[in-house]
């Protein structure tokens, strides 16, 4: 089976500060991989490299068989179409309705005809539990609803992999559950997911594989039960105990 994400020897520096020190990571179709680790360990930078937002100095990266080649606009476009990303801040366009936010990307990039895009947007809103919100403006939606629209918008591109970077961190606690339930349903439907999260019980429940990043390296990797129950390194042990 061709991996969805294949990263070999990835190194990334900002100036003289090396923040990713040789990352090897393969994600198979349908796999759900959670990334945990202290702030500053390089989790966001890794996701940003995967969707081409950050250039890196060494190593190789392919998504769905397509290599990332910086400076090659066609390769970058092909890559971005295969990768969906959701951030902590929802970044919806404030002047567009929920439905229009979702329609925008497929309309521009894939040149879908509008009625088809609207049907697709309605379907995606239903999938994230917002059937009646097509015409709602972002400022009329709760943070949890906005984040679910952002998920629907990412899905509209039919990505091969969805990258989630702490997507519940900015939400009021009572709104976290509704967003996690959507992510869980995507996992159950077979979506390939790579997610950075602070929600440890969620990571343990939903992910097939857990990665602990520490100082720019994959420090431990394994099944979530293994890592939570029996961390092998003092760094992971310390990280887990700092959470309680
Ligand atoms: P995490 O998501 O695990 O908290 P990040 O990937 O955001 O970590 O950051 C890893 C390191 O890279 C940190 O030391 C951070 O300060 C640095 N860094 C991140 N983005 C930039 C940037 N655009 N310019 C310079 N340094 C950066
Ligand atoms: Mg981060």
* Boundaries of every domain in the chain: 5-92+161-242
Distance 40 CA to ligand 1 centre (A): 6
Cα 216 to ligand 1 centre (Å): 10
Q: Please give the structure tokens belonging to residue 60.
A: 């190789």
pLDDT of residue 226: 95
Instruction: List the beta bridge partners of residue 210.
Output: 34, 222
State in Å: Cα 61 to ligand 1 middle.
19
* Cα(195)–Cα(34) distance, integer angstroms: 5
Measured from the CB, is residue 14 less than 6 Å from ligand 1? yes
- Is ligand 1 within 6 A of the CB of residue 39? yes
Domain 5-92+161-242 indexed as CATH 1.10.10.10: no
Alpha-carbon gap, residue 90 to 94, rounded angstroms: 10
* Structure ipTM: 0.98
For residues 106 and 95, the model is more confident at: 95
Q: Which of ligand 1's atoms lies nearest the C-alpha of 196?
A: 2
Q: How far does residue 64's CA lie from ligand 1's centre (Å)?
A: 26
For residue 154, what are its two tokens? 């990412």
- Ligand 2 ion: nearby residues, β-carbon < 5 Å: 43-44
| pLDDT tens digits, one per residue of 168-209 | 999 999 999 999 999 999 999 999 999 999 999 999 999 999
Task: State the distance between the two ends of the chain, measured CA to CA, in whole angstroms.
Answer: 39
The helix or strand, by DSSP H or E, that contains position 205, with its residue range, turns out to be helix 200-206
Whether residue 197 has its Cβ less than 6 Å from ligand 1: no
User: Distance between CA 155 and CA 230 in Å, rounded?
Assistant: 35
Specify the ligand 1 atom closest to the Cα of 45: 6
Angle made by CA atoms 54, 199, 12, in degrees to the nearest 5 = 20
Q: What is the pLDDT of residues 143-158, one digit of tens each?
A: 999 999 999 999 999 9
| pLDDT (0 to 100) of residue 159 | 95
Q: Are 137 and 123 in contact (CB under 8 A)?
A: no
Q: Of 7-11, 37-41, 55-59, 114-118, give the lowest mean pLDDT range.
A: 114-118
142: left (phi over 0), alpha (psi -120 to 50) or beta: beta
Instruction: Give the number of residues written for the chain.
Output: 244
Closest CA to 45 of 11, 69, 70: 11
Alpha-carbon distances, residue 62 vs 71, 72, 73 (angstroms): 15, 14, 15
Residue 242 CB partners (closer than 8 Å, separation 6+): none
The C-alpha atoms of residue 61 and residue 20 are separated, in whole angstroms, by 13
Ligand 1, atom 12: closest residue by C-alpha: 19
For the segment 15-43, the average pLDDT, to the nearest whole number, is: 98
Banded model confidence at residue 109, pLDDT cuts 50, 70, 90: low
Mean pLDDT rounded to a whole number for the chain: 94
Q: Quick check: 86 and 164 in contact, CB under 8 A?
A: yes
Q: Is 31 helix (H, G, I), strand (E, B) or coil?
A: coil
The token pair at 193 is: 């997911």
CA of 39 to the centre of ligand 1 (A): 9
pLDDT at site 106: 75
Per-residue pLDDT, averaged over 84-108, amounts to 90
Say how many Å lie between the CA of residue 17 and the centre of ligand 1. Answer: 9
CA 166 to ligand 1: nearest atom? 2
């Amino acid at each position: 089976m061709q991996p969805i994400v294949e990263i070999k020897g990835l190194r990334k520096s900002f100036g003289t500060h090396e923040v990713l020190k040789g990352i090897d990571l393969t994600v198979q179709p349908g796999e759900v991989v959670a990334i945990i680790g202290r702030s500053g360990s390089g989790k966001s930078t890794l996701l940003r490299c995967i969707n081409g937002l950050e250039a890196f100095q060494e190593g190789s990266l392919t998504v769905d068989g397509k290599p990332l080649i910086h400076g090659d606009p066609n390769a970058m476009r092909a890559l971005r179409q295969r990768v969906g990303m959701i951030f902590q801040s929802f970044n919806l366009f404030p002047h567009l309705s929920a439905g229009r936010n979702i329609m925008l990307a497929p309309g521009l990039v894939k040149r879908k005809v509008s009625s088809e895009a609207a049907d697709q947007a309605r379907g995606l809103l239903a999938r994230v539990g917002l059937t009646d919100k097509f015409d709602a403006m972002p400022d009329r939606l709760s943070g949890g609803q906005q984040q679910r629209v952002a998920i629907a918008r990412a899905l509209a591109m039919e990505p091969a992999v969805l990258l989630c970077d702490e997507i519940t961190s900015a939400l009021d606690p009572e709104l976290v559950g509704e967003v996690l339930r959507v992510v869980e349903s995507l996992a159950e439907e077979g979506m390939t997911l790579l997610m950075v999260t602070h929600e440890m019980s969620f990571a343990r429940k939903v992910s097939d594989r857990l990665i602990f990043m520490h100082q720019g390296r994959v420090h431990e990797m394994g099944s979530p039960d293994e890592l939570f129950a029996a961390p092998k390194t003092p760094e992971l042990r310390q990280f887990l105990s700092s959470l309680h």
